[in-house]
C-alpha cells in the first residue's frame, strides 16, 4: 500500500470507527477487577484482587467438547475461529456476528455491509466461495467438519449495529454446510449486546458494557443455558451462589500476544474444581466485542457473561482471551478482534496472527 493510500485508508477507518458501534459504541465505564487468584486451591468465593499473572496450564479436556462463542467483533471472529479450526471446535454460539470472511478484507465492507454502521448488504455468496476455496487449499480445516456440529445464534430485533439480516445470512451459511442450528434466538427486542441473566443493562439498551438481560415472561432469559445444553446435553443446575471454581489471570504474551497485533498482555480462564482432578472436562473459548476490553469495562465480560455459573457445576473450562485498543498500526481504536484485516491479510485463516495466538492457548489447555 502506497503512503497516500495508507493515509486515506487510516483516515477513512478513523472516521468510520469514531461514529460506528462495531461491537458497541459509546464510552466505556470503569469496572471492578474480577477476583483472581493463583492456582492454589483457594475457592473463588475467597478470592482477592491481585495483579499476579499465571502461566496457562494444561487439563484433561475431552476433544469432543471444545466450543467457541463470541459477541459482535468477537462473534465474527468466533465464526472465523470455528471455520478455520472446525476439526478442533465442535460448535459455536454467535451473538450479533456474521458470515465467515464477511468483510472481504475491507474495513468499508465490514462497517457498511456487515455491521458497525447499522447497514447491511449481503456478502454470503462471496463468503461461501472463499470458504470453499480455502477448504480445498487446506488453509482452513475441511468444511465437511461443520456437518452436524451444533450452532446457536442470537440476534435482537432492535439491534442497530449488526442487522438481523446479517445473522440470517449466517444461519443460511451454517445450514449450507450441514451444521445443526440448535436454536436461533431472533425474537427478543434486544439491542446490541451479549445476553445473560447477569447482564446489567435492560434488553433494549445499547450502551457500555454491552451486557444485557432480556425477559422471558416474568423471568430473565438464560441464553447460555440454551446453547450449553445444546452443546453438552443435559446440564446440572446453574450455580447461583458462591462459585467453587477459580478465575485465573494468565499470561498471553508467551503465545505471541503483543501491542503489535492488538492483543492484551493477559487474559482469564475459569476452572471448576473437578477439572484439576479429572478427565473429560469441556472447554468454551469466549470472545468479547469491541469496547469490551479490560481498559473499557474491566472484566465485566467475564463476570456478567453467565457462562461460569453453568461451567462451575458442569465441569467446563472457559477461556477469555483479550484484545486491546490501538491508535497506531495496527489501527484498532475500539479494541475489536481482527475480522476485516487490520492486522493481517490472512486474518480468517489458520495462519492468521490472532487466530494462531488463540489456537496456541487452546492447544495448551487441551494438553496437545
pLDDT of the residue at 18 = 38
Beta strand extents in 159-288 (DSSP E only): 180-185, 194-195, 201-202, 211-213, 215-216, 219-220, 246-251, 266-271, 281-287
Using the 8-state DSSP alphabet, how is residue 7 labeled?
Answer: H
Burial 247-263 (b: 16+ CB within 10 A, else e): bbbbebeebbbeeebbb
Residue 317, SS3?
strand
- pLDDT tens, per residue, the chain with 368 residues: 333 333 233 334 443 443 344 444 333 323 333 333 333 333 333 333 345 899 999 999 999 999 999 999 999 999 999 999 999 999 999 999 999 999 999 999 999 999 867 789 999 999 999 999 999 999 999 999 999 999 999 999 999 999 999 999 999 999 999 999 999 999 999 999 999 999 999 999 999 999 999 999 999 999 999 999 999 999 999 999 999 999 999 999 999 999 999 999 999 999 999 897 777 899 999 999 999 999 999 999 999 999 999 999 999 999 999 999 999 999 999 999 999 999 999 999 999 999 999 999 999 999 85
β-partners of residue 70 are 94, 287
C-alpha cell at 243: 462459585
pLDDT of the residue at 117 = 75
Domain total in the chain: 1
pLDDT of the residue at 116 = 67
State the residue range of the domain holding 80. 3-365
Using the 8-state DSSP alphabet, how is residue 110 labeled?
Answer: I
Cα dihedral value 6, 257, 83, 63, nearest 10: 180
CA angle 23, 185, 31 (to 5 degrees): 40
Distance CA 42, CA 59 (A): 18
Residue with cell 446453547: 227
With 0-12 / 13-18 / 19 or more C-beta atoms within 10 angstroms meaning exposed / middle / buried, residue 342 is buried
pLDDT of the residue at 261 = 98
Q: Please identify which of the residues 72, 86, 127, 223 carries the catalytic annotation.
A: 72
pLDDT of the residue at 30 = 31
Answer whether 155's CB lies under 8 Å from 164's CB. yes
pLDDT of the residue at 51 = 53
Q: Please identify which of the residues 192, 198, 208, 288 carries the catalytic annotation.
A: 192
Tell me, yes or no, if 72 is annotated catalytic. Answer: yes
**Number of other residues whose CB lies within 10 A of the CB of residue 139:** 15
Q: Please identify which of the residues 113, 135, 141, 159 carries the catalytic annotation.
A: 159
Tell me, yes or no, if 192 is annotated catalytic. Answer: yes
**Number of other residues whose CB lies within 10 A of the CB of residue 156:** 27
Rounded to the nearest 10 degrees, the angle between the axes of helix 73-84 and helix 353-365 is 70
Answer whether 35's CB lies under 8 Å from 44's CB. yes
Element of type H or E holding 71: strand 61-71
Amino acid at each position: 500500500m502506497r503512503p497516500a493510500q495508507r493515509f486515506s485508508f487510516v483516515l477513512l477507518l478513523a472516521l468510520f470507527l469514531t461514529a460506528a458501534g462495531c461491537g458497541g459504541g459509546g464510552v466505556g465505564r470503569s469496572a471492578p477487577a474480577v477476583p483472581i487468584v493463583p492456582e492454589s486451591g483457594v475457592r473463588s468465593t475467597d478470592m482477592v484482587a491481585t495483579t499476579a499473572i499465571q502461566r496457562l496450564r494444561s487439563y484433561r479436556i475431552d476433544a469432543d467438547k471444545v466450543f467457541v462463542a463470541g459477541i459482535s467483533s468477537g462473534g465474527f471472529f468466533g465464526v472465523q475461529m470455528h471455520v478455520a479450526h472446525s476439526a478442533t471446535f465442535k460448535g459455536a454460539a454467535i451473538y450479533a456476528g456474521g458470515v465467515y470472511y464477511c468483510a472481504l478484507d475491507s474495513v468499508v465492507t465490514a462497517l457498511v455491509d456487515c455491521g458497525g454502521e447499522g447497514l447491511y448488504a449481503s456478502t454470503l455468496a462471496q463468503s461461501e466461495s472463499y470458504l470453499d476455496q480455502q477448504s480445498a487449499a487446506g488453509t482452513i480445516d475441511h468444511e465437511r467438519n461443520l456437518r452436524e456440529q451444533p450452532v446457536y445464534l442470537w440476534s435482537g430485533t432492535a439491534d442497530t449495529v449488526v442487522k438481523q439480516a446479517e445473522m440470517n445470512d449466517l444461519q443460511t451459511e451454517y445450514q449450507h454446510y450441514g451444521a445443526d442450528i440448535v436454536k436461533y434466538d431472533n425474537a427478543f427486542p434486544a439491542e446490541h449486546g451479549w445476553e445473560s441473566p447477569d447482564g446489567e443493562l435492560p434488553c433494549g439498551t445499547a450502551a457500555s458494557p454491552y451486557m444485557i438481560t432480556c425477559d422471558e415472561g416474568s423471568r430473565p432469559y438464560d441464553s447460555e443455558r440454551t446453547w450449553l445444553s445444546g452443546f453438552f446435553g443435559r446440564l446440572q443446575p446453574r450455580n447461583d451462589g458462591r462459585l467453587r471454581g477459580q478465575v485465573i489471570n494468565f499470561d498471553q504474551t508467551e503465545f505471541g500476544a503483543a501491542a503489535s497485533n492488538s492483543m492484551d498482555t493477559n487474559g482469564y480462564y475459569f476452572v471448576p474444581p473437578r477439572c484439576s482432578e479429572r478427565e473429560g472436562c469441556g472447554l468454551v473459548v469466549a470472545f468479547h466485542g469491541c469496547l469490551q476490553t479490560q481498559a473499557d469495562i474491566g472484566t465485566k465480560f467475564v463476570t456478567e457473561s453467565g457462562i461460569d455459573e453453568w461451567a462451575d457445576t458442569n465441569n467446563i473450562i472457559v477461556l477469555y482471551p483479550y484484545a486491546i485498543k490501538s491508535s497506531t498500526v495496527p489501527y484498532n481504536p475500539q479494541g475489536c478482534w481482527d475480522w476485516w484485516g487490520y492486522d493481517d491479510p490472512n486474518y480468517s485463516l489458520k495462519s492468521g496472527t490472532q487466530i494462531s495466538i488463540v489456537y496456541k492457548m487452546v492447544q495448551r489447555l487441551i494438553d496437545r
